[in-house]
Amino acid sequence: MTDNSQQHSGPTDGRAGDAEPHDAILDDPRLAQAAQEYLGELESGKRPDRRRWLERYPDLAEPLGQCLDGLELVYHAAPLASPLSDHPAPPAAATSDPAAANPLGDFQIVREIGRGGMGIVYEAVQLSLGRRVALKVLPFAATFDSKHLQRFRQEAQAAAQLHHTNIVPVYAVGCERGIHFYAMQLIEGQSLDALIRQLREQAGMGPLEIGPADTSSPSRNRAPSSSGPIDATGDWSPPWSDSGAAGPPPTDVKRVEPAPTQLSSHFSTDRTGNERERYRTIAKCMLQAAEALEYAHQQGIVHRDIKPANLLIDFRGTVWITDFGLAHFHDAPGLTQTGDILGTVRYMSPEQASGQRVVLDHRTDVYSLAATFYEWLTLWPVFAGRTRHSLLSDVLNRDPRSPRSIDRGIPVELEIIVLKALSKPAADRYASAQELADDLRRFLQDEPIRGKRPSLVEQARKWSRRHPSLVAAALLVMFLGLIGSLVSNWLITRANDRTTAALAQERLRAEEAERSFQQARQAVDFLIQVGQEELVYEPPPQGLRKRVLETALVYYQDFIAQRRGNPSSQTELIAVQNRLKKILDDLSVLEGAGQLVLLSEPVVQADLALDHAQRKRIEGIAKDFDQRRSEALHNFNQLSFSERRSRFLELARANDRAMRATLAQPQMQRLAQITLQLQGPRAFNQPEVIARLRLTDLQRQTIRQIEMDTFASVWAEVKHKRPPPDDFREKVLQPAVEKILKVLTPEQLIQWKELVGPSLQGVVELPPPGSVPPL
């Protein structure tokens, strides 16, 4: 301050060199090196010895000294976003805190035992009862307006009503000398946060690597994570915090006694020990926590900030949840996101992370609990993002790594339970903490759990959510299409085997086929949904949408054909048929359009030897069709079912007439040939192909096998999130067809060649209009 006036006399007019004798020296790379090392020390909370640095570079002592001075200035004046927070321990933490001298109401503070997201925790004595308590002093006294204060009291008092063996009891909520506090039972134990850190150390894993923005990871070292919040609110910390004494580095929240090693050895990851017992112990703790949450949820209280730091484990291995009713106040003005930001974001449910003001229900706790225990199981956070931004995005978009891929020893059931509870959509999680607890109990009693691995359909849904681009949708169409054919194969197999197989086996197969059918139907329904809802926004000419709906139609027709004459599924059939009708309405028009699309391909036009006039007319028809279709689709939602149907059919018929009028008979036939050529293995499922070739059952089985293999190879690609090769048709479909052709007899081959005619020369971008038979 004394130099306040001097700042005006500083060299403002030039570069450093102008006023600096060591101009060239300043570019010595050792300077940057030394300054960075010095900064590194500062940032890791040490107090670097300036002299040592200067002695190391005697020839650079002067400029280095200036640099280090500048660095100290910046570093201490700007603790903003640099990865530090390890400034000298906050004095407010002092054991000789004046607060200790003056009781806060009924509470005499003994010593500070920790700092957490919501304030400082002291060990205190409740004078009237002479019992030891943990006293949490909330940092917002000065900034809270009365509305918030009232809300805080309501929440805290509601939380104080919770009485459960696994919830830290709140004894009192009060305000004294403008300081708000919260007295609760003193738990002799350790936070899960600290326990996990120790387990990591024991496992030789070292601290989690933390990025520069990550000032508050729960697992790096305790000083930053716990002192952060107080930095933020230093101004508002209790008026008696102006103590001159420097306190010890803050310890973990409510870590009361220095006996954690005992605990961590209890939960040790030591593989020589009873590993299975370790996982069971974790499951037992999770069960306790889930039941505590269920109890709180029943009382209408959602925690909203479940994380390792808020779970305490006492020396008997009992879990205690703490800080109920406080999470709301992270958002309070003047208290915004104090400190432990990443420590909180890491365990946030996607609905919390999305930042949308949705009402958070109890399932957010189910998620956060699972994220917490995922970390205990694997010793890795669900998402190890190094910045808040990347963490948020991971929570929203990335699926967690499967726990067993980190540690093979983790029981499958536990993995399924944790992953289910970590589902992104709340609806896919356990519906309640109780359901989660029930499954954990089943696991502990070696009963089958209810949670299941996500089905293919769910995976597809998740997958498409993560890859919302049109390319991804196209890929989806492709592999769902393959699933569909796979499933219809099942159905056909069932029909074929019915005559020969034993009854029991038949039933098994039937059940399997039924399941597959249901799954396929779901898949196709989803496909339809994509086609109807998502792809509406695709820019014209909506090629992808057509393909989606066409694919759906093909499989619906398969379903209908397969289910016909099965009286046991009449209602099913009717439902399917209704849906089919709707689709058919939409697609009767698209089918024709598909052929039109094919006809618009230069390659096809050349093959059919369309003359100039024909090409012109096709172009006109296509244009006309697009226009009429968009007219028909206009107000689509307002039209009645039959109106839609008649409009589409009319459109389709007009289209069909126009095409027939344009093309000569041989050209129409050739178009059918090309269509078959482009269908790949699926062509051999076409009724007219089967009839023409007179395929035997054995042949059809072999063909189905080839189809399945094709599917498997594509599926493997898709699973690895690789797009299918551009030359998908040549690389995948063509070889499959070749294999099938080897199965055929010479006579059948001749028939086939007649059916498909000479190969189409050139590349067609769009697929043929499916295997849609003419209406």
Partner 1 sequence: MSAATTPEELLHQARSGSADQLGRLLEIYRHYLRLLARVEIGRSLQAKLDASDLVQDTLLEAHRSFPRFRGSSETQFVCWLRQIMAANLANLLRRYLGTQGRDVRLERELAVRLDQSSRILDRGLFDRGSSPSHQVFRREQAVLLADALEKLPENYREVIVLRHLEGLTFPEVSRRMGRSVDSVEKLWVRGLAQLRQVMGGVS
Select from 89-97, 272-280, 305-313, 764-772 the region that touches partner 1 (CB under 8 A). Answer: 89-97
Beta bridge partners of 185: 133
- Taking CB under 8 A as the rule, does residue 3 contact partner 1? yes
Q: Where are the alpha helices (DSSP H) in 422-502?
A: 433-444, 456-466, 470-498
Of 53, 90, 124, 180, the one binding partner 1 (CB under 8 A) is 90
- Taking CB under 8 A as the rule, does residue 88 contact partner 1? yes
Q: Where are the alpha helices (DSSP H) in 380-469?
A: 388-397, 403-406, 412-421, 433-444, 456-466
Select from 11-19, 154-162, 297-305, 589-597 the region that touches partner 1 (CB under 8 A). Answer: 11-19
Minimal distance, residue 524 CB to partner 1, in Å: 29
Of 186, 194, 232, 599, the one binding partner 1 (CB under 8 A) is 232
Of 45, 48, 79, 757, the one binding partner 1 (CB under 8 A) is 79
Burial (CB count within 10 angstroms: exposed 0-12, middle 13-18, buried 19+), residue 582:
middle
Select from 68-76, 254-262, 599-607, 617-625 the region that touches partner 1 (CB under 8 A). Answer: 68-76
- Taking CB under 8 A as the rule, does residue 16 contact partner 1? yes
Of 341, 421, 440, 764, the one binding partner 1 (CB under 8 A) is 341
Minimal distance, residue 36 CB to partner 1, in Å: 8
Of 49, 55, 78, 165, the one binding partner 1 (CB under 8 A) is 78
Contact between 699 and 487 (Cβ < 8 Å): no
- Taking CB under 8 A as the rule, does residue 649 contact partner 1? no
- How far is 520 from 533, CA to CA, in rounded Å? 19
Of 37, 145, 201, 242, the one binding partner 1 (CB under 8 A) is 242
Of 41, 44, 54, 83, the one binding partner 1 (CB under 8 A) is 83
Report which of 51, 118, 46, 115 is spatially closest to residue 86, judged by C-alpha positions.
46
Tally of CB atoms within 10 A around 66: 15
Select from 2-10, 157-165, 714-722, 757-765 the region that touches partner 1 (CB under 8 A). Answer: 2-10
Could you give the C-alpha distances from 216 to 117, 140, 223, 487, 649, in angstroms and in order? 10, 20, 9, 51, 64
- Taking CB under 8 A as the rule, does residue 469 contact partner 1? no
Compute the C-alpha angle 69/72/73, nearest 5°: 85
Amino acid code (one letter) for 584: L
- Taking CB under 8 A as the rule, does residue 96 contact partner 1? no
Amino acid code (one letter) for 602: P
Of 1, 502, 504, 691, the one binding partner 1 (CB under 8 A) is 1
Q: Which of residues 309-338 bind partner 1 (CB under 8 A)?
A: 333-338
Of 388, 546, 670, 682, the one binding partner 1 (CB under 8 A) is 388
- Taking CB under 8 A as the rule, does residue 66 contact partner 1? yes
Burial (CB count within 10 angstroms: exposed 0-12, middle 13-18, buried 19+), residue 564:
exposed
Beta bridge partners of 181: 137, 174
Number of residues that bind partner 1 (CB under 8 A): 73
Of 57, 61, 72, 749, the one binding partner 1 (CB under 8 A) is 72
Beta bridge partners of 190: 313
Q: Which of residues 352-371 bind partner 1 (CB under 8 A)?
A: 354-356
- How far is 169 from 161, CA to CA, in rounded Å? 8
- Taking CB under 8 A as the rule, does residue 146 contact partner 1? no
- Taking CB under 8 A as the rule, does residue 10 contact partner 1? yes
- How far is 120 from 139, CA to CA, in rounded Å? 8
Q: Which of residues 671-700 bind partner 1 (CB under 8 A)?
A: none
Q: Which of residues 23-52 bind partner 1 (CB under 8 A)?
A: 26-27, 29, 31-32, 35-36
Minimal distance, residue 57 CB to partner 1, in Å: 13
Of 103, 234, 317, 735, the one binding partner 1 (CB under 8 A) is 234
Rounding to the nearest 10 degrees, give the CA dihedral for residues 10, 13, 19, 22.
Answer: 110
Burial (CB count within 10 angstroms: exposed 0-12, middle 13-18, buried 19+), residue 765:
exposed
Helix (H, G, I), strand (E, B) or coil at 113: strand
Contact between 445 and 460 (Cβ < 8 Å): no
